[in-house]
Each structure stands twice: as structure tokens, then as C-alpha cells.
Chain A
Amino acid sequence: QVQLVESGGGVVQPGRSLRLSCAVSGFIFSSYAMHWVRQAPGKGLEWVAVISYEGSDKYYADSVKGRFTISRDNSKNALYLQMNSLRAEDTAVYYCARGDGGNGGGIYWYLDLWGRGTLVTVSS
């Protein structure tokens, strides 16, 4: 059964750090690029970051560049998002999602599988 399960969310003070994880099962994780997408309460979707299947290529939204780092551990079927210098505007549900370019097909693909998300609240 294909599953993407995010964890690590919670309440954190502005300026602090948090690390999100996404545990994947049911497909060959190491063959797919992976994304983080967030959604602030009551707002639309905002793409955050993507990492290539082998981890060598990473791209970020301008709003998080320099503060967030996407990474993966293909031996553990896990995706991560290290979030530093958090701001109130980073408050959102964070989703991990798969890009459908299997067999190392690159990052320029639609998002075909999504987790249920984890809520990050940045507040003092």
C-alpha cells in the first residue's frame, strides 16, 4: 500500500528550528523526486521545495530559500525538511508529495501522491 506519512510538526517559537519527516512506503522511493508543499490556514497551496531522486538537485521557493533545507535518505525511505529561523508566516500544514517521474525521471513532473500533512505553528 502506497503511503506518505508526515511527522514532526508542532508549535515552535519564532526564530527556532523544526525538522519535518516524511516516511514513505509502497513504491521505490529512490526512483522519484520528492516535494514539500504547504498550506497556511484557510489559504491556498504553496510549493516549498523539491529534491531529485538521488538527492543531488534541490530547489526552493524564494520565501524559504536560505532558511529551509530539503534532504532525503533513500536507505530509510525518508524525506526531510529542516526549517530554521522560523517565522509566523511559516505557519501551515506541510505536505510531502511525490513527483511522478519514476526511474530517475527528473523533477519536472506533476505531483501524483500526497501525504495527509503535518501542522506547523510558529507562535510565541
Chain B
Amino acid sequence: DIVMTQSPDSLAVSLGERATINCKSSQSVLYSSNNKNYLAWYQQKPGQPPNLLIYWASTRESGVPDRFSGSGSGTDFTLTINSLQAEDVAVYYCQQYYSTPFTFGQGTRLEIK
């Protein structure tokens, strides 16, 4: 099974500043045949289901503000939130869909400093 490890477990960032969340997979999720990284990011606010933010490691889902961006390849990935807004307070998860079981990271809780 591919193990997904996020860092940090929690972080506090001031409004308007940048938040950076890392995700590392225990093996590469880059599929060489199509050069795609099978890595997604989700946002979950309290009492709500997860919401897709980023897929293929760096493609922003329709309707997601452009302050959210994803980067990385192979085994190391980053979710960056520029100009943090109050509504960005949530738990963020990475997930690999390269091979079953489609594992999630443990989550990173983002708060306002």
C-alpha cells in the first residue's frame, strides 16, 4: 500500500499570508505512460464533506479560487494557499489514486494566527 504522509499536522497562518502544506508518498504516483501524477488535494470544513481542490497534482478544480495551487511530482507534493482568507480554515488532505487502496494523508489542520 502507498502511505501518504502530510506535514505539518497543523499550522497557524496570519490572514493575507501564505500557507504551505506538504504531502509525501511512500512510492511514486507518477504514471510514466501519461506523465500524470495521481495526486489530489481536498479541503474539509467542519460538518461538511470533503471538497476537491486540486487534481493531477496541479490542476485546480473549477470554481476553486486561484490562491490555491498544487505542485510537485513523483513522491513529493505541496499545496500552497496564497493570501490566506478566513474561509480557508479547514483540514486539508492529500490522496493518491495511483493504486488501490487509494490512500489519504492524515490531514493538516489550518488555522488563523
- Whether B49 contacts A114 by the Cβ 8 Å rule is yes
Q: Which residues of B contact A95 (CB under 8 A)?
A: 49-50
- Whether A108 contacts B97 by the Cβ 8 Å rule is yes
- Whether A50 contacts B49 by the Cβ 8 Å rule is no
Q: Restricting to B43-59, which residues have a CB under 8 Å from any CB of A?
A: 44, 48-52, 55-56
- Whether A110 contacts B52 by the Cβ 8 Å rule is yes
A90 within 8 Å of B (CB atoms):
no
Q: Which of B1, B52, B93, B98 contacts A44 (CB 8 A)?
A: B93
Nearest chain B residue, comparing its CB with the CB of A65? B101
Q: Does more than half of chain B's interface fall in helix, strand or loop, or is it mixed?
A: loop
B78 within 8 Å of A (CB atoms):
no
How many A-B residue pairs have C-beta atoms within 8 angstroms? Tell me.
Answer: 60
State the Cβ distance, B90 to closest chain A Cβ, in Å: 13
B75 within 8 Å of A (CB atoms):
no
A88 within 8 Å of B (CB atoms):
no
- Whether A45 contacts B55 by the Cβ 8 Å rule is no
Contact string against B for A residues 66-84, beta-carbon threshold 8 Å, 1 for contact and 0 otherwise: 0000000000000000000
State the Cβ distance, A22 to closest chain B Cβ, in Å: 12
A116 to B49, CA, bound (A): 5
Q: Which residues of A contact B44 (CB under 8 A)?
A: 45
State the Cβ distance, B62 to closest chain A Cβ, in Å: 9
A111 within 8 Å of B (CB atoms):
yes
- B residues engaging A (CB < 8 A)? 1, 38, 40, 42, 44, 48-52, 55-56, 61, 91, 93, 95, 97-98, 100-107
- A residues engaging B (CB < 8 A)? 35, 37, 44-47, 50, 59-62, 95, 99-100, 107-112, 114-117
List 10 interface pairs A-B (beta carbons < 8 Å), by A numbering: A37-B50, A44-B91, A44-B93, A45-B44, A45-B107, A46-B104, A47-B104, A110-B52, A114-B49, A117-B49
